Structure 1
């Protein structure tokens, strides 16, 4: 079952959370796992914290490997094909046709189960469009229903004639079964490494899963979560710029600082352990301006 939600622009992580709360979770409950691509809203700190509070795990597809989330990719193609046909004369009206592409998909039977997604979810098949032979006393209402019926029929024909899964699987082989601890070759073709090399093909062997290394120069620290903006790469690891340290708090036996990141909005501010802040000048400057806050011995001098 799918839900297509038209949006005026690419939403931020906070806007995405609002959308799924009001339009998805209220219908189906909180999820146990959320599988998504690596869009900026899904790798943001806000989204990770939001899912963690809901006790939902975050699963991100591999870069340049859309097959990880194959169902969504096929449905995106189906939606794009339907909207191209339905809104070809007036492209700006695409958002009005989204509901009928969704309705057609959810009410048409699936070849694998013989039932529609609607029937699998709710236990019964919804009523389809009745015969439109009768006349109506309000012509505008009749025109609306006829237009909706045509859109639904057109999408049903497109969906039945397009065999996305068969066409995609015909040229695919089962993927290798990787386990944690296996050693693999990591291709650098799609990695934005800033290195002087004329023929670098692979970056040695690594363990699965892989994590980016931390590096720091000047007023930078390397958080463990990739951020939406493109980081600088120094020493093979991503480096992010700190705009300002806003606050400090005691956490266990150490301290954490609330970091305002350069190039990010307030929703991306996050608490970072003091040991991960490589440039101690940042901490010294903070305690010089806030001598009343708890800090290391002599930090304010």
Structure 2
């Protein structure tokens, strides 16, 4: 469900950066994870050895040491680690660099497919070339990074080095050119500009093709309006339920506050879920029916009736009567409140239902009434009149 909405193509290189992790690898010189950083335009990647337990602060340190010194600060980050991780990671990176600036964050769980592809290629490379004991994969990361950045990308039709630095690094076994080409700075600038524009066109075409093939087997995501009640997919949410398999697949229902993007909605979450970011993708939501099981969810009671400028709730039936602390009380079934709407009310609260009271005593004349057990019935019945107050359920 939900059509593909690819990320927009950024204006320049390293302006939008994707960050992801390959975790739980075999131990190699103290490392068990790889931090993968990819440029969204040029697709050039950096592979950095790290640990599975790396925090947002540790990620910011790694980015500063290995990526920032080469490419500077981006305009936005994209990560499948979650919007809270991206926010904290960016805050820590700016703190380390001594910069007081707020940036826009991006979190597109349905659109950031390039990271999955890069991770697959890196895992395949390490699987082929690492030793039998799988304890030297960290030493292979420089070669893996060079190999990945030196191949022709299927979307841009250029090598990733060419798009990023303007030439392909020398490997040592290329044929030596007969004539050396010395281009001026203006020629280099124009060539890089042309290459970048061609790469953007190729990326746009690749994204369109990807979206077209992706949408062939999917229906458009439903649109929700403020006030709609939706269920939230619980597959990515940690709960206190002891069994993940037997816990609820959906949580809620929760109320939609507003739409914040083409496929993103902000929900009104309870206080117990305040640690979650309230904005979710439409693929995580499902419209909650008004009455999933007929009769299970009680309908709201009807509004009161105005009699002599007083609000009175409609009485459906009189069920019982008793004397409590020398006062007459009736067990009343209020209209529209179903089984839970049976309350013990003082006599003055049923003053507008005289016909039902008479009918009740005609059926059961032995129970307390205005003539049996309460001498002040007539005075209260005719003088006092107010809207009923539900004090408690009948025993």
Using the size of structure 1 for normalisation, the TM-score is: 0.48
